Amino acid sequence: MKCSMESKKPYMAVFLTQCIYAGMALFSKAAITKGMNPYVFVVYRQAFATLALAPFAFFLERNKSAPLSYSLLSKIFLVSLCGITLSLNLYSFAMNYTSATLAAASTNSIPVITFIMAVSLRMENISIKQWHGMAKVFGSVVCVSGALVTTFVKGPPLYSSAQKEIPEPSTENSSKRDWIKGSLIMLSSNTLWSLWLITQGLLVKQYPAKLRLTTLQCFFSCIQSVVWAVVVERNISAWKLGWDLNLLSVAYCGIIVTGVTYWLRVWVIQKKGPVFIAMFTPSAFILTAIFSAFLWKEILHWGSVCGTVLLAGGLFSVLWGKH
């Protein structure tokens, strides 16, 4: 019985991780829809993340010898700027034009985009004469097709709403433009995040203290996001946080998403490997779609469903070939 429970722990941990990521999409959308500036949202999120990780980084890795040179600090600063600051700001900005469900669905493209980048940089090899190589290429093409379908094809609603409204043609066209704009920005965010994932392997070789490295990147990202937000948002009232949904959202994304999932992902990867945790990525979309329908009365469209099926199918094909 004990052995059976031990074998189930990785499944429970990875499911909890996907639940947390689904919550990230829901809370981000709720705070930004309520009126919180997306750039200010990122600042507070990264501040909470830094404060949450710093004590663990100090006490758990204080015995690790990881010297920091000016050259290495510069690399970490630039990686934080491109991979975290730009990625999170684009993600939050895209929430103005898309839904939480689309945000969760788009994360299925991250493993495949990362794989395509790795191949382009010659960090990954493809042998198209073998089945696993063909599976990788086929999966990449299917995943890209899914991303295009999700972006450009909204389609009719999957189910009818209780309150039906007949949109005016101009409003409907504007909605389609916003949907495409938001989807493209979200894909840009995912592409930058994929680039960040690739650079982590290179940075860890130079600075093996992983938790300290993550904390440094969160800190640099927080400073960079402050500069960005101050330039864009001059209204001081936009920076106010009360005991409301906005505070809960930034605390959740900073502490739970960045802090808790970091440990869960590392633990699951040590137990089952990176392929195992990547296989569960599509479940975040399913959870987000369910909660969005009940909490925010969000209507799912056929374009999102078909695009997500292609994204998930392409992801599994690439992961099978990789495995």
Q: Is-contact 116 314, C-beta < 8 A?
A: no
Cα distances from 4 to residues 1, 10, 187, 273, in angstroms, run 5, 11, 40, 19
The mean pLDDT of the chain is 80
Is pLDDT of 80 > 80? Answer: yes
- Determine the 3-state secondary structure of 301 from DSSP: strand
Please list the alpha-helical segments (H only) found in the chain.
Answer: 2-33, 38-60, 70-79, 86-94, 100-106, 109-120, 131-152, 169-206, 210-232, 245-251, 261-272, 274-279, 282-295, 302-322
Prediction pTM value: 0.79
pLDDT in tens, 5-59: 677 788 788 888 888 888 888 888 888 888 899 999 999 999 999 999 899 888 8
- Determine the 3-state secondary structure of 241 from DSSP: coil
What residues does 301 pair with on adjacent strands?
157
Q: Which of 44, 146, 134, 39 is nearest to 88 (CA)?
A: 39
Domain ranges of the chain: 2-124+160-297
- Determine the 3-state secondary structure of 153 from DSSP: coil
pLDDT in tens, 263-273: 777 677 667 76
∠ at Cα 261 (319, 100), nearest 5°?
75
- Contacts of 92 by beta carbon, 8 Å cutoff, 6+ apart: 28, 32, 38, 39, 41, 42
Q: Is-contact 44 244, C-beta < 8 A?
A: no
What is the C-alpha to C-alpha distance for residues 104 and 293, in angstroms, rounded to an integer?
Answer: 14
pLDDT in tens, 232-262: 888 888 888 888 889 999 999 999 987 778 7
